[in-house]
Copies of this chain bind each other. A is one copy, B any other.
Amino acid sequence: MKEVLPHFNSTFSIDCVLFGFDEGELKILLIERNEEPFKDWWALPGNLVAMDESLDQSAARILHELTSLSNVYMEQYYTFGDVNRHPQGRVVSIAYYALLRLGGDKSPKPLSTYAKQAHWINVKELPKLAFDHQQIFDKGLEKIKRRIKHQPIAFELLPEKFTLTQLQNVYEIILNKKLDKRNFRKKMLSFGVLKDLEEKQKGVSFRAATLYKFDKRRYAKLFGKEISF
């Protein structure tokens, strides 16, 4: 039987794909490992699950350690358990993705021992990843592609106040295709879950667009009805 990892009496871990949206780019947070195995490789942030924390708590902790953020939209999406996915033992990893608003100085924390650095990296320019993390990322991206079609998750990537163009941008980048502006607006507004803030964008060097916010109350009242793109 294989050697079990030290430190925790536990053989399962969490890996997180932290998605962030900034200036029209979809990025994820990667760390550069400072420990074997895969020392100096880029990897998804992750950690062993402590004995006294639930999976959700563990994922939230990892996110918090890196970004100091709490109350972020996170979702468990798959568990990876191939026998040899970790070279030092049997580690089953439960994958989560998170969606968060970048911009401003949401830079990740300096990391003590287990990573040299952490950076937001455009999903179109990912380096080679440690372990089976490429596979974990792929499945996570696929997941949000499916989910954005039916669930109001795009708003999690935007600031509270956003323009319709920014919203369309999120859809276009995640779905990886151009959408028609008029049709997008018509459909999006028809769901009745956006609140017109009667307020304009600021600091742009052209005509300012109207700001909207996502109205959770109204969304909750839709019940069965589904958003669909």
Contacts and interface: CB of A to CB of B under 8 A. Distances in A.
A1 B81 contact: no
B9 A92 contact: no
A223 B53 CA distance: 42
Nearest to A53: B83
A55 interface: yes
A51 interface: yes
Contacts of A90: 10, 51
A79 interface: yes
Given A10-B90, A11-B11, A76-B78, A1 B83 contact: no
Contacts of A178: none
Contacts of A94: 79, 81, 92
Given A54-B82, A55-B92, A83-B52, A10 B9 contact: no
A51 B81 contact: no
A211 interface: no
Prevailing SS type, chain A contact patch = loop
Contacts of A78: 76
Residue among A52, A76, A81 facing the most chain B CB atoms (10 A cut-off): A81
A12 B12 contact: yes
A2 interface: yes
9 contacts: A1-B9, A1-B51, A10-B90, A12-B81, A52-B83, A54-B81, A54-B82, A55-B82, A76-B78
Given A10-B11, A51-B83, 20 more contacts: A1-B51, A4-B9, A10-B90, A11-B11, A12-B12, A12-B81, A12-B92, A49-B81, A49-B92, A51-B90, A54-B81, A54-B82, A55-B79, A55-B81, A76-B78, A76-B79, A79-B79, A81-B94, A92-B92, A92-B94
